[in-house]
């Protein structure tokens, strides 16, 4: 068995669930394991981008003991646009 964490963060709260899965389990298996838990049940887990330790991956990726599966939410503002807006505000 392996133990992994599944994480989803919002600006004001973070949901983290540790799950134990069989050796050879995938990211999809981890998502299925948390699908009905608080903070995850209202999400469309299989439509969201995912990654392991900040590296985007496919749901078929096999997990290792101690991996951290991260669910990514859409950006509110493109980083380039945010920099441009900050630069404009500094000039005013």
Per-residue pLDDT tens digits for 22-68: 999 999 999 999 999 999 999 999 999 999 999 999 999 999 999 99
Quote the pLDDT of residue 90: 67
Asked if the model's pLDDT at residue 5 lies above 70, the reply is yes
User: Is the whole-model pTM more than 0.85?
Assistant: no
Which H or E run contains 50?
Answer: strand 50-52
What is the predicted pLDDT for the residue at 23? 97
pLDDT of residue 76 exceeding 80: no
d(CA 89, CA 11): 23
The domains of the chain, with CATH numbers, are 2-91 (3.10.20.30)
């Amino acid at each position: 068995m392996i133990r992994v964490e599944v994480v989803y963060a919002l600006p004001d709260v973070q949901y983290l669930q540790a799950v134990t899965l069989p050796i050879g389990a995938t990211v999809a298996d981890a998502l299925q394991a948390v699908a009905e838990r608080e903070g995850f049940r209202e999400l469309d887990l299989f439509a969201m981008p995912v990654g392991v330790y900040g590296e985007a991956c496919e749901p078929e990726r096999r997990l290792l003991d101690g991996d951290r599966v991260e669910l990514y939410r859409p950006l509110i503002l493109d980083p380039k646009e945010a920099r441009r807006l900050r630069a404009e505000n500094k000039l005013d």
